[in-house]
């Protein structure tokens, strides 16, 4: 049986896959990390000196960047200045050993350093190249700089966040980066499957943009506009497609998110509140009527919930199988028994901080689970290990370091 205390005994379903991560900050590195979480051997390449810009973003502990530790977990780390011919030569020596390369430079930047697709595929014809950018490789905006908030705003996401009578609101987290990273990882796996089944004669090139990734998850907004001419707007915490669905304040001043999106759940919810009269009320007979009259319905529900404490409400909703959660902060998550039972927060070793805790691997594979083997590396932590494996001597490595190439 595998040793539950030894992450190396859970190699993961992608064991044997080798990924070269040239990307920076969040979206590209997140795609590579998703592969690493499931067992891929990921080598992170940073510029010498300051390294990846993510290292400069808070939070920190004793000068160590904590965000970095999660986004670049399960990776070895080296430094190479890819802008220099010597750096390009080192990259060329690495390429034959890797299945996937991830980069997120602006279109044409790598080409300008001589790192073209043709050059990479000449060295390794099977290499899958994932290019993560803001606007994509083509189009009139492709050379514009872009950050998560740009694409959250551009794709209509920010426009539907906020109160109905207030301004659009950004989330306090760069969701567009995470979304693009997930699409990028799916793209890599699809390309590898195509190679495995003989569907292509050479390695694929994947054009993954934050713009299109965020736009894709907007789901029904485009077809709603196309077919009905509706431009969806903000509605606060109201569900936009089902009622009731909102955040409610309990008698003890706490907050609960409740969703009763199907007819059967709505009827159970009414019984939970002792308001079976709402089931037969013509204004609320079915979801379309409830959405049309949600302000009136919500006023009734808000008043009923205000009579109960959070614990009282939670117990009755759980008993009647109504979707519900308190509004958690991160401390609540660490204390929750279900997160603990699912091992959703795991202890991870780190060479700089000792033991740290972070999210576990998702999704969970039953027979060959992925694992968090270690937190993100320090700058150039594996330079000697990787370069010696390429045949470089201690003297060669010292000379490259002295010249600023690594």
Angle (deg, nearest 10), helices 310-319 and 263-272:
130
Provide the token pair at 191.
Answer: 């390309």
Told to judge if 177 belongs to the known catalytic residues of this protein, a careful annotator would answer: yes
Distance CA 125, CA 312 (A): 63
Alpha-helical segments (H) within 131-199:
148-154, 175-196
Of 267, 120, 313, 288, whose CA–CA distance to 205 is shortest?
A: 120
- Quick one: residue 49, left, alpha or beta (phi over 0 = left, psi -120 to 50 = alpha)? left
Element (H, E) at 307: none
**H or E element: which one contains 247?**
strand 245-249
| Nearest-angstrom CA–CA distance, 368 and 385 | 28
Active-site option among 21, 177, 298, 350: 177
List the beta bridge partners of residue 98: none
Contact call for residues 54 and 30 (beta carbons, < 8 A): no
Cα(first)–Cα(last) distance of the chain, in Å? 42
Asked if residues 73 and 372 have their Cβ atoms less than 8 Å apart, the reply is yes
What CA–CA distance (Å, rounded) separates 109 from 207?
A: 15
Give catalytic residues, as residue numbers. Answer: 177
């Amino acid at each position: 049986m595998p040793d539950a205390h030894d992450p190396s005994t859970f190699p993961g379903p992608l064991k044997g896959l080798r990924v070269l991560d040239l990307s920076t900050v969040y979206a590209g590195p997140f795609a590579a990390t998703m592969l690493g979480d499931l067992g891929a051997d990921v080598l992170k390449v940073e510029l010498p000196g300051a390294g990846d810009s993510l290292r400069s973003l808070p939070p920190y502990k004793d000068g160590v960047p904590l965000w970095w530790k999660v986004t670049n977990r399960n990776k070895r780390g080296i430094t190479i200045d890819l802008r220099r011919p010597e750096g390009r030569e080192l990259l060329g020596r690495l390429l034959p050993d890797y299945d996937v390369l991830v980069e997120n430079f602006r279109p044409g930047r790598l080409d300008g350093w001589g790192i073209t697709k043709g050059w990479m595929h000449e060295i390794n014809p099977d290499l899958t190249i994932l290019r993560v950018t803001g606007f994509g490789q083509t189009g009139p905006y492709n050379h514009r700089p872009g950050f998560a908030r740009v694409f959250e705003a551009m794709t209509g996401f920010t426009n539907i966040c906020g109160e109905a009578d207030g301004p659009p609101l950004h989330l306090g987290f760069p969701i567009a980066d995470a979304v693009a990273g997930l699409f990028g990882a799916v793209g890599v796996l699809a390309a590898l499957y195509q190679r495995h089944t003989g569907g292509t004669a050479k390695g694929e090139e994947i054009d993954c943009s934050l713009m299109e990734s965020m736009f894709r998850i907007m789901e029904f907004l485009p077809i709603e506009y196309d077919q009905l001419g509706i431009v969806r707007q903000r509605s606060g915490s109201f569900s936009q497609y089902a009622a009731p669905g909102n955040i409610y304040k309990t008698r003890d001043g706490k907050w609960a998110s409740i969703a009763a999106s199907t007819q059967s759940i709505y009827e159970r919810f009414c019984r939970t509140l002792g308001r079976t009269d709402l089931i037969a009320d013509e204004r609320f007979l079915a979801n379309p009527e409830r959405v049309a009259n949600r302000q009136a319905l919500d006023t009734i529900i808000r008043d009923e919930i205000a009579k109960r404490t959070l614990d009282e409400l939670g117990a009755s909703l759980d008993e009647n199988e109504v979707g519900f959660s308190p509004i958690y902060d991160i401390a609540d998550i660490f204390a929750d028994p279900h997160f603990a039972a699912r091992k959703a927060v795991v202890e991870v070793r780190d060479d700089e901080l000792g033991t740290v805790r972070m999210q576990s691997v998702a999704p969970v594979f039953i027979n060959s689970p992925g694992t968090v083997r270690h937190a993100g590396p320090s700058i150039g932590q594996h330079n000697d290990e990787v370069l010696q494996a390429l045949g470089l001597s201690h003297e060669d490595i010292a000379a490259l370091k002295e010249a600023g190439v690594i």
